[in-house]
Structure 1
Amino acid sequence: MTCKKLIWIFLPAIMLLGIAGFTVDDDIIANLTRRLAAWSQKHPIEKAYLHFDKPYYTAGEDIWFKAYVLTGPDRQLQPDSGILNVELINEADSIKQALKIQLHNGIGYGDIPLPDTMEEGNYRLRAYTEYMRNAGTQYFFDKAIVIGNVITNKVFTRASFSYQQKQVTATIRYTDANGAAYSNKQVSYTMLSTGVANMKGKAVTDADGNIKINFPATDAASLENVRFVTTIAGVGENKVIKRIPVHFAAGVADVQFFPEGGNLVNGINTHIAFKIIGNDGLGVDAKGVIKDNSGKQIAVISTTHLGMGAFTLTPQAGQTYKAELTYADGSKAIKALPKATDNGTVLNITSTDPNHIMVNVATPKALAGQLNLLAQANGRVYYAAKSEIGKSSFSAVIPASKFPSGIVQFTLFSSAGEPLNQRLVFINGNDKINLKVAADKNYQQAQKPVTLNVEATTADGKPSLGSLSVAVVNESKAPIDENNENNIFASLLLSSDLKGYIEQPAYYFNEITEKTRADLDVLMMTQGYQRFEWRAIAAGNDTQDKFPDERTFTISGRVTTTSGQPVKGGKVELINFGDGILQVDTVTDANGRFAFNDIIYPDSIKFLLQARTAKNKRNVVITVDSVPPAPSNQFKSLPDFVTNAGQSIAAYAQNSRQFYFEQMKLGLGNHVISLREVQVREKRNALKHSANLNGPGRADQILLAKDLYPGCIQLADCLQGRLLGVIFRNGTAFSTRGGGPMLIVVDGVYTDSDYMNTINVNDVQSIEVLRNIGNAAIYGSRAGGGVLVITTKRGDEPVDYPRYFGGGVKPYAPKGIYKSRVFYSPKYNVKRDVKLADLRSTIFWKPDLVTVDGKTSSSYFNGAPGNYRVVVEGVDSEGRIGRQVLRYTVQ
């Protein structure tokens, strides 16, 4: 990246506050610092954050968001990446909606309209630039949300789970929107899991609408990411599919012990953190004792927050240790601690004092060489020192102000530069924006205007030039759990730097106290940092970035003859299909390749690509390159998915339903009724090229090109939820009738799902679904799981847009820049708006507030009486981030 030329300043002086045993750095530290600086300049850390108007939604609503993209050690607003991918992903890892948001100096905003027929359940909102893909999907912004549906949804479920003797009983109740049970209904189900074989079965609901499913639970690892996909019949025109994540206390838990710095050394007192995680990925509370191998009690331990805790231990040679634990449900477990060694180093850091960091290093005997200590944050070294020769212990007290807010990685190196110990420390410094938010009057009335005044200053009181977003929500209609909420501090300072799952990250920032600081320090001891490997940095090993900055779009591809030979020197034209205003051309190289670089176009645009040989002949084939989205099946926060998603927001959903129908009466809102599956029997022209062995159109279900969702990246994403009785797992199609993966036939050729998802969605003319044995049997034993017959376009199909006839022409409809809509903020001086405005949960949303001389303001109308919550977040021109919450009551 070329965003900034970082100025790397080595910090040799150690603040003289209680320093004993450390001296200035030598060549080892200088070499490490230099190599890290070079690596960070070449691979600066980029982070994305989305501020939403609220934490959950219902079908028919809009998700409003503002995007902030920061980069480098100083967390500057990103000037290089110009496009942000924002995706809505369901719990089956299918991308349901995808937007491309244009960034201007790291800032952009948009909205996602949710279709009226959106399936209720757990979803994720993911955001990333192409450059961020180099670090891996686990560093993307990726937040779980719940979306309900009380508009078109006919079936509501409530699931509960009980565990006994390594057996789990799932009870699932099916009701309508009013809570009336669906009794005597046929239900088929499939249990999906990464750890055990998928289980299938059928059941009939009892008089209360319940079914019971039993399955084994032998160990915690086999129960990760377990979910049921159930299909209930007889509740309407079609069968209804419900997806239910499995969360329960299985009587088994994963217990891990983390000696501070990584090592237990005999004779040296060591802090040990521990973490207890249930099969659902969430922390489990427990208490217990530590005993040695003679049965002597050494320590009493207890979890202090979300299954985490810490204690101290001085291991002795010849002794082993174990923890005897009692969980909250009364079950017990015995877990061994890591074995201690006779040699090694112990790195102890105390950071509960917000102003100082105390570092202590101890070894069992005096060292012949020197140890080197280095502390880095976001790829920049902020502290470095070495020990004195001949010492067995040494310490230092470091001012916390030396470091930026966020995670600091302390690493102890040997005299040869080998990393020995590592400890993460969280710094909550004064390098943030101080935001003050106040309403223009103390007494707030319903249906009356209000003005919010915002002031932004730095730690030293100077005005801050910042870009802010503000969301106002009536909490009486949309209650908010702040510990599970989106939070700019938790995301940019904590979650974005750690690969593993963090439960309730916002908890550590909502109210900073001595306890939250201590809990956060324990989290730092139990959470791994994997942004880079010190060994690779020290050795100078480096890899090239696969994904460069994406500032604009590139349309590229290849032109070949009908026999597949490259067309050299051919002319390729790119024409705006809509109005023809954009028309550019280029020439193919020796390999027949072409590219149109540095172009920006809006979403839903249609292009024509027209190619000719050097001799102006048209009989050529155009293939357009496509870059698939990042894998969507690596969500690190799966434990945030709730079992009864719809029920968890039932009260909010009912209010949202009233709001929806009032909007419909007034012709407002953006309510899009999604197409259900389309049955086609007579359209011979559309299916004239079908290779269906039963004959064109003889299928259980048919979708044509016009019925596919626009903007899908992979074909599986377009079909997820559209095909009756077909589900997609990681892009592979399965029939709910069982029998393994479905056979994929493309233009008469037997293929598989991997090939299916390489097909450009715009090239598909029809998909015929064969699930019944009468239709699939003709394909033989390979069709045991059913068949998808895919027919691609030949050029003579009926289309809904003008055509250019002749060879060497290809329609192309890429994903372009999404144009954000304006948030609807009603005014009570317009009579028709009164009832509608009173039903709002999001009262006001403004993503483009800018402070001038540190101040800004914005006005809107209050809605119905209730408790209102204002959240202001943002970033200033120097990379400082800020957040402030204001509450007021409307009478």
Structure 2
Amino acid sequence: MIKPKKTKYRLGTLFGFIAFFLISFSPATDPLERIISAFEKYLTESPHEKVYIHVDKEDYAAGETIWFKAYLTAGPYHEPSLLSNTIYLELINSSGEVIQHHQLFSPDGFAAGQLELDESLPAGNYLLRSYTNWMRNSGEEYFFHKQLKIWNEKTQSQEQLTQGNLDIQFFPEGGSLVEGIMSKVAFKAIGTDGLGKFVKGRILDGEKVIAEFESNQLGMGVFALLPEKGKQYKAQIESRGQEVILPSPLESGIVMSITNSPKSSDILIKIQATENSTLQSVFLLAQTRGIVGASSKADLSKKIVFVRIPKTEFPSGIAQITALDETGNPLAERLVFIDQQDQMTITASMNKSVYKSRERVQVDIEAKDKEGNPVAANMSLSVFDGSQVALNENKETIQSNLLLSSELKGHIESPGYYFNSTNQDREKELDILMLTQGWRKFTIKQALSENAPDPIYRVERGLSIRGVLTDIKNNQPIEEGTVSYLSLFPIAESKTATSNSIGEFEIHDLIFFDSTKVMLQGKSIKGKAATVSIDSSYHSPSLAYHIRSTLIRPSDLEQSFMTNAAERQAIEKAFDLDNSELSLEEVEVKGKRIDKPSKTSSSYGAGTVQMQVAGKIDLENQQHPLDLVKGRVSGVQITGTGPSSKILIQGVGSINSSMEPLILLNDFPIKLESLQSLPVHEIQSYTVWKGPDTAIFGARGANGVIGFYTKKEIGDAIAASEKDERLQVIGYQIAKEFYSPKYPLQELNQAKLDRRATLFWAPNIQTDSHGKASVSFYNSDAENVIYGEIEGISKGGKPGTSRFSYIIEK
């Protein structure tokens, strides 16, 4: 459990007429004790998950593939998540319709995959959204969102931007304007397209100008205002004739002002109360992602108090500083960003800066921590053609997402700007962002609530199958019936669920991939066969994110990208040798039904050798199912152990040079490696078929057969019967390998032009114990600048990014 730091500071005096108090941060008293305790409980019982998606580029053409890497973190330190095993990924059009959705298997916090775009997909702005089921407890706005452009020259549509009124909001520092106290007032101007717009204006007291303001290019800025008693102020926007009423000032209260200078090692907090305020003291609480850095009780008897908090008390990210009254009611709140410069450093090096077309490129990657020590990290790399895809230095990265965007309300424009050290004003602009964007995670009110609601959505360790169990004869729902599930791939697995009062059932935490047929067997409470129907519909969470409906006119670079995309598709079709089809005549296959023999554990008969396992301690204590056979059946030779075992059954032939026998589990064929997941103590018996006894299996049994049969209580759930239904379900996506040509080995393809926009995509780069990794790929026919972008996260949860470039010349 993470405990809040309890530190002590010196008391001091500020020269002049104002006393300067450096508050002692001692063990917290009520209400801080309750709040800190609630934060500790939150961190241990409800660790927060975040998803970040790294894609190979920003723009796509219809018919292309979006390559992506998913990073799933949990807890305040952003460590790779071991909670959820399932990540949901959706592609949503501008109408809010989910046009693609996938389930990603993430047992260790990472997953890779692809979205294959249809050639007929209309041009437009699309949204990539990702989340886990556990994240739904925090609301849709906490999901990962990334807007993408998809171009299609055949269905091109452009948006004519209209000049409407701006949405201008004003944010007094700390939360409220108070009469007689000077305050900072931040503002943000948003256009009809949802993006920030540059504005200039004046603050008016009636017709009198008392202040002027001007925003940055993202529509944000700040000005000072001293509200007077009984006055109402308005903002007038130049060149638009638009006026906005400012928030009304309070007659009594406090103003909390914070100075977070990059040149200072401390955060300076100033709290000032009105003369008519009855507050004698305030409680202060400072926390980052639920980690309490400091807490204290500050004396307000002199109507003003100053507090310093060393920045070392906080991890990197957004710190929330709250002033509360004696009952725990928040009086003022302010966000500040703390940068400890402790993120993972990634360097990429090559042996030269200029390469030839189709030449092999090797990139050596090294990851280090703040102290320069090697770091074990998981990373992804995208290499793209700079003449087709723009390099956006201010775009979202894993660093800006985890530390900034995922912690704030609303859309953050150009988040990478605040992490680019070449931008000299980034700290100043970042502080303005802190003043304008609201907090949305764990709140003080939640902390003080003694009856916090239980999470609605569960942590998913696998996939779920939902459906209804009904009576075969009258189709009525069956209550307290059982539905048994069997899957043999990738592991042999069986589970059972009970139906509720309206026949509904859910089977959770299943592991299966792609489009899979599973066996579900339904029974009533009396053991009679029942009908199983599954719900195959996709239930997507509601969407609150604004997606611009149509594309604006493409830039010259985007037009070049579209032209090259059309050329690439034409080249691919011209050289696609796999596109030909051969139609075969209808073939009728006749067979003879084999009735299930009676009084035997197998429908294939007694076999050559049968061995009882259940009840024999020496057998039940074996480590692997094959250990039951090894040395116990004449003519069966087993070498090796576990999944690497080699089996030879004498007296049989071989098929396709393979000597591996057919392996059965309850009469269903499985892979040899799947036996690793079958506990020996659950095996009732096994049967071996060899020689003439294998004839019943046809060609499948040419190398002999070994069948394992589970105990009755498990066999009821997984043994196949004529009543079982094989139903098709969609499992986890199987990640495909990015195609990267190897020209020295493919002389026949020299005539094929190479116009790749993405030259290389490597989603699973793992550094070794020295923090190093290497990748290699081949250039295209481009003669331009090539860019590479690396993103990743260390085992301890430190994100990192890196960019490199080189030139391709003839």
**TM-score, scaled relative to structure 2:** 0.75
Relative to structure 1, is the Cα distance of residues 593 and 826 closer, same or farther in structure 2, using a 3 angstrom cutoff?
same
Query: Which one of the candidate residues 852, 860, 865 is aligned to 2:777?
Result: 860
Q: CA deviation at 1:492?
A: 1.6
Is the aligned partner of 1:828 residue 2:740? no
Is the aligned partner of 1:878 residue 2:787? no
Secondary structure in structure 1 of the residue aligned to 2:174: helix
Is the aligned partner of 1:314 residue 2:229? no
Counterparts of 2:465 and 2:445 in 1: how far apart (Å)?
A: 39
Counterparts of 2:188 and 2:288 in 1: how far apart (Å)?
A: 25
Give the AA of the match of 1:336: I
Give the AA of the match of 2:570: F
Structure-1 residue corresponding to 2:248: 339
Is the aligned partner of 1:122 residue 2:125? yes
Structure-2 residue corresponding to 1:378: 289
- 1:382-440, Cα deviation, whole Å (9 max, x unpaired): 12222125231111233323222222111110122110111111222222101111212
When the two chains are superposed, the root-mean-square deviation of aligned CA atoms in Å is 3.0
Counterparts of 1:65 and 1:386 in 2: how far apart (Å)?
A: 48
Secondary structure in structure 1 of the residue aligned to 2:516: coil
Counterparts of 1:546 and 1:305 in 2: how far apart (Å)?
A: 41
Structure-2 residue corresponding to 1:156: 156
Structure-1 residue corresponding to 2:667: none
Counterparts of 2:267 and 2:723 in 1: how far apart (Å)?
A: 68
Counterparts of 1:48 and 1:867 in 2: how far apart (Å)?
A: 31
Relative to structure 1, is the Cα distance of residues 97 and 670 closer, same or farther in structure 2, using a 3 angstrom cutoff?
farther
Structure-1 residue corresponding to 2:379: 468
- 1:514-549, Cα deviation, whole Å (9 max, x unpaired): 422212211111111122332232132311111111
Relative to structure 1, is the Cα distance of residues 657 and 542 closer, same or farther in structure 2, using a 3 angstrom cutoff?
same
Q: CA deviation at 1:475?
A: 0.7
Structure-2 residue corresponding to 1:520: 430
Tell whether the 8 Å contact from 1:56 to 1:147 is kept in structure 2 after alignment: yes
Secondary structure in structure 2 of the residue aligned to 1:657: helix
Tell whether the 8 Å contact from 1:407 to 1:426 is kept in structure 2 after alignment: yes
Give the AA of the match of 1:873: E
Counterparts of 1:56 and 1:113 in 2: how far apart (Å)?
A: 14
Counterparts of 2:453 and 2:500 in 1: how far apart (Å)?
A: 29
Gaps of 5+ in 2: 15-19, 582-720
Structure-2 residue corresponding to 1:887: 805
Tell whether the 8 Å contact from 2:170 to 2:247 is kept in structure 1 after alignment: yes
Is the aligned partner of 1:543 residue 2:453? yes
Counterparts of 1:343 and 1:871 in 2: how far apart (Å)?
A: 53
Counterparts of 2:195 and 2:757 in 1: how far apart (Å)?
A: 30
Counterparts of 1:436 and 1:622 in 2: how far apart (Å)?
A: 55
Counterparts of 1:304 and 1:581 in 2: how far apart (Å)?
A: 57
Query: Which one of the candidate residues 158, 163, 173 is aligned to 1:249?
Result: 163
Relative to structure 1, is the Cα distance of residues 596 and 313 closer, same or farther in structure 2, using a 3 angstrom cutoff?
closer
Tell whether the 8 Å contact from 1:572 to 1:587 is kept in structure 2 after alignment: yes
Tell whether the 8 Å contact from 2:489 to 2:512 is kept in structure 1 after alignment: no
Q: CA deviation at 1:857?
A: 1.4
Relative to structure 1, is the Cα distance of residues 406 and 613 closer, same or farther in structure 2, using a 3 angstrom cutoff?
same
Counterparts of 2:383 and 2:98 in 1: how far apart (Å)?
A: 29
Gaps of 5+ in 1: 1-5, 161-246, 673-805
Task: Please show how residues 222-237 of structure 1 align to structure 2 within 5 Å.
Answer: none
Counterparts of 1:877 and 1:28 in 2: how far apart (Å)?
A: 36
Relative to structure 1, is the Cα distance of residues 610 and 49 closer, same or farther in structure 2, using a 3 angstrom cutoff?
same
Give the AA of the match of 1:337: L
Greater shift, 876-885 or 339-348, is seen at 339-348
Structure-2 residue corresponding to 1:552: 462
Greater shift, 12-21 or 816-825, is seen at 12-21
Secondary structure in structure 2 of the residue aligned to 1:34: helix
Query: Which one of the candidate residues 204, 208, 215 is aligned to 1:291?
Result: 204
Is the aligned partner of 1:74 residue 2:47? no
Counterparts of 1:334 and 1:669 in 2: how far apart (Å)?
A: 64
Tell whether the 8 Å contact from 1:574 to 1:607 is kept in structure 2 after alignment: yes
Counterparts of 1:861 and 1:614 in 2: how far apart (Å)?
A: 63
Secondary structure in structure 1 of the residue aligned to 2:247: coil
Is the aligned partner of 1:665 residue 2:574? yes
Q: CA deviation at 1:311?
A: 0.6
Relative to structure 1, is the Cα distance of residues 571 and 471 closer, same or farther in structure 2, using a 3 angstrom cutoff?
same
Relative to structure 1, is the Cα distance of residues 514 and 391 closer, same or farther in structure 2, using a 3 angstrom cutoff?
farther
Relative to structure 1, is the Cα distance of residues 7 and 156 closer, same or farther in structure 2, using a 3 angstrom cutoff?
closer
- 1:651-688, Cα deviation, whole Å (9 max, x unpaired): 2011012222222233279999xxxxxxxxxxxxxxxx
Tell whether the 8 Å contact from 1:257 to 1:338 is kept in structure 2 after alignment: yes
- 1:546-579, Cα deviation, whole Å (9 max, x unpaired): 1111111233444232546554675644456x99
Relative to structure 1, is the Cα distance of residues 581 and 103 closer, same or farther in structure 2, using a 3 angstrom cutoff?
closer
Give the AA of the match of 1:840: R
Structure-2 residue corresponding to 1:692: none
Counterparts of 1:844 and 1:37 in 2: how far apart (Å)?
A: 44
Tell whether the 8 Å contact from 1:282 to 1:639 is kept in structure 2 after alignment: no
Structure-1 residue corresponding to 2:592: none
Relative to structure 1, is the Cα distance of residues 597 and 333 closer, same or farther in structure 2, using a 3 angstrom cutoff?
closer
Structure-2 residue corresponding to 1:188: none
Is the aligned partner of 1:275 residue 2:188? yes
Task: Please show how residues 21-420 of structure 1 align to structure 2 within 5 Å.
Answer: 21-24=22-25, 25-150=28-153, 153=154, 155-160=155-160, 247-250=161-164, 252-293=165-206, 295-326=207-238, 330-353=239-262, 355-365=265-275, 368-388=279-299, 390-420=301-331
Relative to structure 1, is the Cα distance of residues 547 and 115 closer, same or farther in structure 2, using a 3 angstrom cutoff?
same
- 1:36-75, Cα deviation, whole Å (9 max, x unpaired): 2212322222110011110111122111111101111111
Relative to structure 1, is the Cα distance of residues 462 and 331 closer, same or farther in structure 2, using a 3 angstrom cutoff?
same
- 1:311-332, Cα deviation, whole Å (9 max, x unpaired): 1112222333222220xxx222
Structure-1 residue corresponding to 2:403: 493
Q: CA deviation at 1:466?
A: 0.5
Tell whether the 8 Å contact from 2:266 to 2:308 is kept in structure 1 after alignment: yes
Task: Please show how residues 836-847 of structure 1 align to structure 2 within 5 Å.
Answer: 836=752, 838-847=754-763
Greater shift, 456-465 or 826-835, is seen at 826-835
Identity %: 32
Q: CA deviation at 1:826?
A: 0.8
**TM-score, scaled relative to structure 1:** 0.69
Secondary structure in structure 2 of the residue aligned to 1:661: helix
Relative to structure 1, is the Cα distance of residues 457 and 807 closer, same or farther in structure 2, using a 3 angstrom cutoff?
closer
Counterparts of 2:535 and 2:484 in 1: how far apart (Å)?
A: 16
Is the aligned partner of 1:457 residue 2:375? no
Q: CA deviation at 1:470?
A: 0.8
Please identify the structure whose Cα radius of gyration is greater.
2
Give the AA of the match of 1:316: E
Tell whether the 8 Å contact from 1:375 to 1:408 is kept in structure 2 after alignment: yes
Q: CA deviation at 1:146?
A: 1.1
Tell whether the 8 Å contact from 1:356 to 1:398 is kept in structure 2 after alignment: yes
Counterparts of 1:513 and 1:52 in 2: how far apart (Å)?
A: 25
Task: Please show how residues 707-718 of structure 1 align to structure 2 within 5 Å.
Answer: none
Counterparts of 2:175 and 2:334 in 1: how far apart (Å)?
A: 8
Secondary structure in structure 1 of the residue aligned to 2:326: coil
Q: CA deviation at 1:632?
A: 4.5
Relative to structure 1, is the Cα distance of residues 569 and 345 closer, same or farther in structure 2, using a 3 angstrom cutoff?
closer
Relative to structure 1, is the Cα distance of residues 86 and 310 closer, same or farther in structure 2, using a 3 angstrom cutoff?
same
Q: CA deviation at 1:872?
A: 0.7
Tell whether the 8 Å contact from 1:121 to 1:645 is kept in structure 2 after alignment: no
Counterparts of 1:503 and 1:60 in 2: how far apart (Å)?
A: 28
Secondary structure in structure 2 of the residue aligned to 1:261: coil
Tell whether the 8 Å contact from 1:257 to 1:337 is kept in structure 2 after alignment: yes
Q: CA deviation at 1:117?
A: 2.2
Secondary structure in structure 2 of the residue aligned to 1:824: coil
Q: CA deviation at 1:113?
A: 1.4
Counterparts of 1:579 and 1:345 in 2: how far apart (Å)?
A: 64
Counterparts of 2:193 and 2:491 in 1: how far apart (Å)?
A: 55
